Amino acid sequence: MMYGIIGALDEEVELLEAALEHKSEQQVGPYRYVQGTLDSKQVVICRCGVGKVAAGSCAATMLALYPLTGLINTGAAGGIAQGMQVGDLALSLQAVQHDVNATVFGYQLGQVPGHEPTFVADEKLLQAARSAAAKTGFKPPFEGTILSGDQFVSSDTVVADLTAKFPHSVAVEMEGAAIAQIASDFKVPFLIVRAISDCADNHGAVSYETFSREISHKSANFVRALLNAL
């Protein structure tokens, strides 16, 4: 079994890469895939870059190259669920691209034509994440819809609009739902794991700049615990 791990930025994958044993690398275009053993699990890790196109391209290439059992997206996100705080964890029950709108053709808001309204995360990976949180002392993660779009959300008004349109959403970021779409196309189980760096509000950019590295490392450490729970 081999698991793929994708993060947008170096800080989101650097701890995991540093912990790998028996490493090998493969460069494909802009993507550097690092394969190895992480606590007895076979994994391949890649930094995809920011945004849905980069994330989808990276995921598709990874899935074409490696026989993955599951695909995990890790990193920071803006928390938009009631009561969320910096440092909390979010897990995807499903993922939606909030900036997709083909409603004029009868699709739901956020639904990519040719796909289901949401991309549903894998229950086995979710159960492993819950078990990891319980065993390792992490605060229980928030679970719900993770929203992705090609914008950094840092506005009270935008958050209010997103939570009204997608009432079960817990976090917003820029890659996860694109990775979920590609995983679904390849019929490979996926899970998005995000640690909250900001609340996507009017102060979101400042909060992100302050906490993003620490929070990205927290998400990576949780992914490692998750893999150990499988």
DSSP-based three-state secondary structure for 162: helix
Question: Cβ distance 18 to 6 under 8 Å?
Answer: no
Return mean pLDDT, the chain: 95
**Residue 177, domain CATH:** 3.40.50.1580
For 75-131, the pLDDT digits (tens) are: 999 999 999 999 999 999 999 999 999 999 999 999 999 999 999 999 999 999 999
pTM of the model: 0.96
Nearest to 76, CA basis, from 226, 227, 205, 229: 205
Tell which wins on pLDDT, 213 or 129.
129
Which residues form the domain of 173?
2-229
Calpha distance 5→123 (Å, rounded):
17
User: What is the mean pLDDT of the segment spanning 18-36?
Assistant: 98
List CB contacts of 101: < 8 A, sequence separation 6 or more.
Answer: 109, 110
87: left (phi over 0), alpha (psi -120 to 50) or beta: left
| Tokens 């897990």, residue located | 91
Question: Cβ distance 76 to 212 under 8 Å?
Answer: yes
The domain tally of the chain equals 1
For 30-53, the pLDDT digits (tens) are: 999 999 999 999 999 999 999 999
Calpha distance 125→94 (Å, rounded):
12
pLDDT (0 to 100) of residue 204: 67
The residues assigned a catalytic role are 12, 198
Amino acid at 102: A
